[in-house]
Amino acid sequence: MNEARPPFRADMVGSLLRPEPLKQARAQFAEGRIGRDELKQVEDDCIRDVVRKQEEVGLKAVTDGEFRRSWWHFDFLSQLEGCELTKGEKAIQFQGVQTRSESVAVRGKVGFGDHPMLEHFRFLKSVTSVTPKMTIPSPSVLHFRGGRDAISKDVYPDMDAFYADTAEAYAQAVKGFYEAGCRYLQFDDTVWAYLCSEAERQKVRDRGEDPDALKVIYRDMIVHALKAKPADMAITTHVCRGNFRSTWISEGGYEPVAETLLAEIPYDGYFLEYDSQRAGGFEPLRFLPKGDKRVVLGLVTSKSGDLESKDDVRKRIEEASKFAPLEQFCLSPQCGFASTEEGNILTEEAQWNKLRFIVEIAKEQWGSL
């Protein structure tokens, strides 16, 4: 197994808490008190700083913290060709809290085009001495979030054409990020966790769709996109149960999707949440093929600042190794620390303590990162 290839023994999902200067600048921009160039300068400075901090705690791959985004997914999806951000639509209901009323609608043919996040990656690459990692939402998210109602029937009377165009747009995204110098790309994906939740599966049925059929459709879309991946590029996925202000949406173990996800989709790594009973047991890891694929165990929660016990984390890793080889595991937070710009309910100090903690355990467990 190539130790220098992502995902790394100690890794992180992607988003980080926004520092106060960035929050202030975004608010000032929204109010028209500063221009886009001034906002970009603050973003650039904050990204330089957060990259340095990630390097200092020992991470071998760093992100820009998603500092130029408001949402983990809508900022990327709304800037695909044929897509637009909509406001005033239905909010997303989490446990006891709702998000802002924004979503994405498909109004034209989906394509990748000259996506602005290519430049975001180029900047990240220019300010780090380790591996720059780019995170984008999975192609499945574009459909699942709004379903058929969010996709123009005039443009796409046939949903097969929508799925095909979206899959090809992501193949072009893979090529585009590779040409920009990206060798570590991640598809963030709430869909697989939702397909593990009977409550969420029923919501899919209620809107007239078959969750089991969608599982196959999403698999095929992702497989098509990954065919564009050059051999020296690693693409991982993060499976998320929802993350907004330290709350969640879906519950349920990985069993309903594990074989499809782990054995049938050629990802190089899988960031799987395992910080609470909501994720179920490690038994579904038996579907991980022996070889170079890795599962990044999300045993350290990003939803609170309480630091886990090293002994407890080690015991959980040992428990997981009953179902897949220890050498195919890595360690990370369970999710990002700020999937939206509001961020989870913990301090920046707690965030960095958690990442430092993960690096320490990984070194002790595997001898290197």
- The 3-state DSSP class for residue 356 equals helix
Please tell me the predicted confidence (pLDDT) of residue 244.
Answer: 46
Q: How far apart are CA 201 and CA 169, in angstroms?
A: 27
Contacts of 21 (CB under 8 A, 6+ apart): 42, 45, 46
pTM, full prediction? 0.92
What are the structural domain ranges in the chain? Answer: 20-366
Q: Residue 357 has which token pair?
A: 């903690």
Calculate the dihedral angle through the C-alpha atoms of 230, 231, 232, 234, rounding to the nearest 10 degrees: 80
Please tell me the number of Cα atoms within 13 Å of 40 on its side-chain side: 7
Look up tokens 């202030």; give the residue.
24
Question: Mean pLDDT throughout 24-45?
Answer: 96
Look up tokens 């958690």; give the residue.
354
Q: Is the pLDDT of residue 353 over 80?
A: yes
- Selected from 3.40.1390.20, 3.90.1300.10, 3.20.20.210, 2.60.40.10, the CATH number assigned to the domain covering 20-366 reads 3.20.20.210
Closest CA to 191 of 152, 137, 245: 137
DSSP 271: E
Please tell me the predicted confidence (pLDDT) of residue 243.
Answer: 52
Residue type, 9: R
Percent of the chain with pLDDT over 90: 76
Q: How far apart are CA 90 and CA 147, in angstroms?
A: 13
Q: Which residue stretches of the chain are H helix? A: 20-30, 36-57, 74-77, 117-126, 139-144, 159-179, 191-194, 198-206, 211-226, 255-258, 264, 310-320, 348-366
Question: In this structure, is the dihedral angle defined by the CA atoms of residues 12, 262, 228 and 1, taken in order, positive or negative?
Answer: positive
Q: Is the pLDDT of residue 81 over 50?
A: yes
Question: Mean pLDDT throughout 149-175?
Answer: 97
Lowest average pLDDT, out of 176-180, 241-245, 325-329, 364-368, goes to 241-245
